[in-house]
Amino acid sequence: MSLMRWEPFRELLSLREAMNRLMEETFLRPWEPWTRWTEVPAVDMYETDEAVVVKAAIPGVKPEDVEISVTGDTLTIRGEVKREEKVKEENYVRQERYYGTFCRSLLLPTRVVADDAEAVFENGVLTLTLPKAEEVKPKAIKVKAKK
């Protein structure tokens, strides 16, 4: 068993860092539920042998209000959630749903053929299927036994 020298200032420094972080998160950058969604809609991305599939949760968005583009190896999803009803501000008791624009750019894991991409929008989930470029698709090589 080894002995360690007690350094009280090391413990004070970590306490100070924790307090600084707490104050910054509470007063300088308070968390608001709509801030994260507007900047970064939730996205799942996975690969199959043939394609890269991206699923983005964008509830309240109409398909005609979504714009998708692929530039190089970057996929960009833009859209807008439009307010449906007109209610005077003074009549609101609580307002948590966000209305406005959003944009999300993702780095694709491999080269894709954007011209053959397919986008389907169902129940607030946008599903993009981006076929992989021919040169990056896995090739199977059969092994033959020598007689």
Fold of 33-85+97-135: Immunoglobulin-like (2.60.40)
Contact 104, 37 (CB under 8 A): no
Q: Residue 90 pLDDT > 50, yes or no?
A: yes
pLDDT higher at 28 or 35: 28
Task: State how far Cα 9 lies from the chain centre.
Answer: 41
The stretches of the chain forming alpha helices (DSSP H) are 8-23, 33-39
Burial class (CB in 10 A: 0-12, 13-18, 19+), 46: exposed
Domain borders along the chain are 33-85+97-135
Average pLDDT score over the chain: 80
Total length of the chain: 147
Q: Residue 92 pLDDT > 70, yes or no?
A: no
Enumerate helices (H) and strands (E) in the chain, giving the number of each: 2, 7
Reported as half-sphere exposure (CB side, CA atoms, 13 A), residue 133 has a value of: 10
Q: Residue 1 pLDDT > 70, yes or no?
A: no
Percentage above 70 pLDDT, the chain = 71
